[in-house]
Amino acid sequence: MTDLSAYFARIGYAGPMTPTLEALRAIHALHPAHITFENIDVLLGRGVSLEPDAVWAKLITARRGGYCYEQNGLLKRVLIAMGFTVEGLIARVRWQAPPGAPDRPRSHMALRVIIDGQPWLADVGFGGCVLTAPIRLETGIVQPTPHGNVRLGDEAGEYLMEAELEGAWTPLYVLSPHAQNDVDYQLANWWTSTHPTSRFTQHLSVARTTPKARYALLDNRLTVRHADGRVERHDLRPGELTEALEVVFKLPVDPTWKPLIERAAAKVPA
């Protein structure tokens, strides 16, 4: 059901189609650089379908992006077609939650990939702080990636995912170790794409990560985190925002996006 050659062409992968750690690492680095994270359909009120054909038509054929269920759902199907053993997981997001804030619903999808008996965490759907390499699903060790160190801690039998940002460890999410069926993401996707307290119904969120930098757009605030540690922030006007979506994030901007772009550009950055 998955056209591997079309997916590989989309992300620029020219390596072997064998289920090895080297192949997973290469694909994991290329995917976030070529398939942008974005929630535009949510803000346009179009909804987000997780049906495989719909995700393929959007992310591959139309060269759009998507959020975690679309991104990691696509990667899961690709890896299975290559011969990997893959399970879907679900997490409770901690990213940018103030200290002492109540728990958020489980709303993030990630993947467990088993290679030679070793479980690895793969996640190409976490926006501006996305992993750019698979990491061992193992607690208590600092693991380097092309975009900084990460680590997994134990929190009541679940995995606390943290990233080292600007010299401090920052929580990203708490990951359940229990495998999920594809249907289990339907309710989480509905909440994420429709609930008034979901950040994706409130803010334009777009991200792309390349070997040179992480690019993250929140409404009209563009943040660029360079590989050498430099950080730039720019507040964009409507025309600049449109240009960023096209040039920085490689999205095929449609005229129907204009009202959304104007609303995002009018927001005062936090």
**Strand, coil or helix: what is 239?**
helix
pLDDT of 2 reads 67
Q: Does residue 202 sit in the same domain as residue 229?
A: yes
pLDDT tens column, 162-210: 999 888 999 999 999 999 999 999 999 999 999 999 999 999 999 999 9
Q: Which residue has the tokens 């993250």?
A: 216
pLDDT of 23 reads 98
pLDDT of 97 reads 81
Who's near 141: CB < 8 A, 6+ residues apart? 151, 152
CATH number of the structural domain spanning residue 225: 3.30.2140.10
Residues of the chain where predicted confidence (pLDDT) is lower than 70: 1-2, 269-270
pLDDT of 270 reads 60
Who's near 70: CB < 8 A, 6+ residues apart? 48, 50, 55, 58, 59, 125
Catalytic residue among 28, 108, 129, 219: 108
Q: Does residue 160 sit in the same domain as residue 212?
A: no
Catalytic residue among 123, 129, 147, 219: 123
Q: Does residue 112 sit in the same domain as residue 133?
A: yes
Catalytic residue among 28, 31, 68, 129: 68
Number of compact structural domains in the chain: 2
Q: Does residue 41 sit in the same domain as residue 174?
A: yes
Question: Is 129 tagged catalytic?
Answer: no
Cα dist from 237 to 130, 225, 262, whole Å: 26, 20, 8
Q: Is the CB of residue 108 less than 8 Å from the CB of residue 93? A: yes
Tokens of 255: 């005229």
Domain final position from 185, 219, 253: 185
pLDDT of 174 reads 97
Domain interval for residue 227: 198-266
Nearest Cα neighbor of 129 from 113, 143, 140, 145 is 145
Count of positions (residues) in the chain? 270
Question: Is 68 tagged catalytic?
Answer: yes
pLDDT of 1 reads 52
Asked whether residue 192 is assigned to any structural domain, the reply reads: no
Report how far apart the first and last C-alpha atoms of the chain are (Å, whole number).
43
Q: Residue 45: which region, alpha, beta or left (left: phi > 0; alpha: psi -120 to 50)?
A: left
Q: Does residue 232 sit in the same domain as residue 113?
A: no
Q: pTM (2 decimals)?
A: 0.95
CA dist., res. 236 & res. 35, Å (int): 22
pLDDT tens column, 199-209: 999 999 999 99
**Burial of 199 by CB count in 10 Å (0-12 exposed, 13-18 middle, 19+ buried)?**
middle
Beta strands 158-165; 142-145: pairing state:
unpaired
Question: Is 147 tagged catalytic?
Answer: no
Asked whether residue 160 is assigned to any structural domain, the reply reads: yes
Asked whether residue 139 is assigned to any structural domain, the reply reads: yes
Q: Does residue 108 sit in the same domain as residue 59?
A: yes
CATH number of the structural domain spanning residue 143: 3.30.2140.20
Asked whether residue 191 is assigned to any structural domain, the reply reads: no
